[in-house]
């Protein structure tokens, strides 16, 4: 059956009129035809030229006719399955189903000093274990920390992929840098029935760089669906207006789609929006701003019109530097609006600031928010049984009550969402129990998960096959002289440890 996720049982939010949606589409087609996009990859340029695009090979500029763009949009499936290592964790993307994913953080946040640091291998594996255990986290996407101590930088992504495969049976996301997608794909292929989804990031404005183009070809030729993303900064790499940014975003994403569908018609695609307004005082992205939610809402409405699943990629990051009230409200408001607006997936769990910091405690708190949002979008069941007219008439006025009724025992857990870390004690209980807050409860939950939870392990043959691919990657980068002697000496200590690969 796969992971249920949450089902939105009412019409999604629409903040644009039909005419406004059409206008954005027509202006997007105009940008693709008149200005086009830069694509820094010869094979992609020749493929696009062969299929009717005007290509300037000197400038790597491609102008895409509307007829081709619209044909390729129609070639994208509106719903599809992505297989996990275990079938109960398969994703069924599309329709009214909503999944929650992680939002990565480059480093781990120290909860005492609130300063970021590079995690250890053990800490990386612990985060994956927590994510695998959380009931409302469905997709642990790329990284989610960018590597860990003692690993050569070029091996960060393959080591992260291996760590997720070893510690989680949920659907994984693959990333790319310096040809590492070659080895990521092989690791997925050696695990029975497992698929993955591959990241593909546009470089705004209107540019598809060489490394992404190369990775797209490799992933699609391996049959892997694409999780494409445009992360423009409104006022920086995108126009400062939401409407102008959406047009630019659309043009970038549709150019990616054209390339993907020309490589292989019917390629499974999710379209992710990760746009932020620019903080005009600092120049940094405005993580957690309400403009992010507006942009995501418009994006979801546009892509519903195209019939292609969309991802709200930005709600998981905030401008807060610690786990606090600001972090909570910036994440929750953005994620709730994304769920109401029709996103098929929402990047949300574990990140604190930007794409800089993450922590398992934050992921546990986020899981409660995701559960609350999920319960809300599932709506209210109105049936003879839930209306309970016969029971209402039977109980009557005071002193009647419903606490001892079978109907209550049957329905209260279906109707209510019970969070893991939220403080729901009475004030008297709270004083007696050390006045703990939600962060204290989340820390306790993290310790409980790490002490008791076990994901289904790889078989011995699968573990050996994954390690063989990692060894192939190590040899590849050593031969290319990308791993320095200093990096390799430090790395060897881990590889020779009796606790490898888990510590």
Interval 157-210: pLDDT, tens:
999 999 999 999 999 999 999 999 999 999 999 998 999 999 999 999 999 999
What pLDDT shows up at residue 142? 85
Instruction: List the structure tokens of 46.
Output: 């020749």
CB atoms within 10 A of CB 134: 26
d(CA 386, CA 141): 38
Q: Is 277 helix (H, G, I), strand (E, B) or coil?
A: strand
Q: Is 472 helix (H, G, I), strand (E, B) or coil?
A: helix
Q: How far is CA 127 from its chain centroid?
A: 15
Taking the CA atoms of residue 432, residue 436, residue 441 and residue 447 in that order, the dihedral angle to the nearest 10 degrees is: -90
- The residue among 332, 322, 333 whose CA lies nearest residue 357 is 322
d(CA 346, CA 38): 29
CA distances from 232 to 192, 208, 242, 367 (A): 37, 13, 11, 27
Instruction: List the structure tokens of 169.
Output: 């049976």
Q: Where are the domains of the chain?
A: 388-415
Tens digits of per-residue pLDDT, 43-61?
A: 999 999 999 999 999 999 9
d(CA 25, CA 251): 9
d(CA 152, CA 495): 12
Q: 137-162 burial string, b = 16+ CB within 10 Å, else e?
A: bbbbbbbbbbbbebbbebbbbbbbbb
What pLDDT shows up at residue 51? 99
What pLDDT shows up at residue 184? 98
- The residue among 5, 229, 231 whose CA lies nearest residue 139 is 5
Q: Which residues contact 139 (CB under 8 A, 6 or more apart)?
A: 91, 99, 100, 101, 102, 170, 171, 173, 197, 345
Instruction: List the structure tokens of 380.
Output: 């209210």
What pLDDT shows up at residue 2? 86
Q: Tell me which residues of the chain have a pLDDT lower than 70.
A: none
What pLDDT shows up at residue 20? 99
d(CA 309, CA 227): 10
CA distances from 120 to 15, 154, 469 (A): 45, 17, 22
d(CA 288, CA 121): 30
d(CA 3, CA 132): 13
Q: How far is CA 17 from its chain centroid?
A: 28
What pLDDT shows up at residue 503? 86
């Amino acid at each position: 059956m796969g992971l249920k996720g949450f089902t939105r049982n009412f019409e999604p939010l629409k903040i644009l009129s039909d005419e406004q949606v059409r206008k954005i589409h027509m202006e997007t087609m105009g940008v693709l035809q008149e200005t086009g996009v830069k694509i820094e990859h010869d094979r992609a340029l020749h493929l696009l030229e062969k299929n009717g695009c005007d290509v300037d090979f000197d400038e790597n500029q491609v102008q895409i006719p509307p007829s081709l763009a619209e044909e390729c949009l129609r070639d994208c499936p509106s719903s599809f399955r992505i297989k996990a290592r275990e079938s109960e964790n398969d994703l069924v993307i599309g329709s009214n189903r909503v999944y929650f994913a992680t939002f990565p953080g480059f480093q781990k946040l120290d909860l005492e000093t609130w300063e970021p640091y590079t995690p250890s291998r053990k800490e990386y594996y612990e985060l994956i274990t927590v994510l695998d255990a959380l009931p409302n986290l469905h997709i642990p996407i790329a990284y989610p920390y960018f590597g860990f101590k003692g690993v050569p930088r070029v091996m960060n992504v393959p080591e992260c992929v291996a760590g997720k495969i070893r510690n989680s049976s949920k659907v994984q996301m693959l990333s790319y840098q310096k040809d590492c997608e070659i080895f990521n794909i092989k690791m997925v292929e050696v695990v029975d029935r497992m698929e993955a989804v591959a990241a593909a990031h546009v470089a705004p404005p209107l540019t598809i760089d060489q490394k992404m183009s190369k990775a797209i070809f490799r992933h699609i030729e391996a049959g892997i669906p694409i999780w494409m993303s445009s992360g423009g900064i409104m006022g920086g790499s995108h126009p400062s207006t939401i409407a102008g940014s959406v047009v630019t975003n659309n043009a970038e994403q549709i150019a990616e789609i054209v390339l993907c569908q020309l490589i292989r018609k019917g390629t499974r695609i999710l379209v992710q929006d990760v746009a932020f307004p620019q903080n005009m005082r600092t120049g940094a992205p405005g993580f957690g701003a309400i403009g992010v939610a507006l942009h995501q809402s418009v994006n979801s409405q546009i892509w519903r019109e195209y019939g292609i699943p969309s991802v709200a990629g930005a709600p998981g990051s905030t401008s807060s530097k610690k786990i606090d009230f600001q972090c909570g409200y910036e994440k929750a408001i953005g994620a709730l609006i994304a769920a109401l607006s029709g996103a098929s997936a929402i990047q949300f769990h574990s990140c604190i600031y930007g794409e800089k910091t993450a922590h398992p405690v934050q992921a546990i708190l986020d899981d409660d928010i995701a559960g609350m949002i999920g319960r809300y979008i599932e709506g209210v069941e109105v049936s003879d049984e839930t209306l309970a007219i016969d029971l209402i008439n039977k109980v009557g006025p005071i002193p009647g009550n419903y606490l001892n009724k079978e109907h209550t025992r049957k329905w209260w857990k279906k109707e209510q969402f019970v969070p893991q870390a939220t403080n729901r004690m009475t004030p008297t209980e709270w004083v007696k129990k050390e006045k703990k807050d939600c962060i204290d409860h989340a820390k306790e939950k993290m310790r409980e998960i790490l002490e008791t939870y076990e994901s289904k392990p790889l078989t011995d043959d699968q573990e050996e096959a994954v390690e063989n691919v990692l060894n192939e990657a190590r040899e590849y980068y050593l031969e290319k002289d990308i791993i320095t002697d200093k990096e390799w000496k430090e790395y060897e200590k881990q590889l020779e440890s009796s606790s490898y690969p888990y510590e």
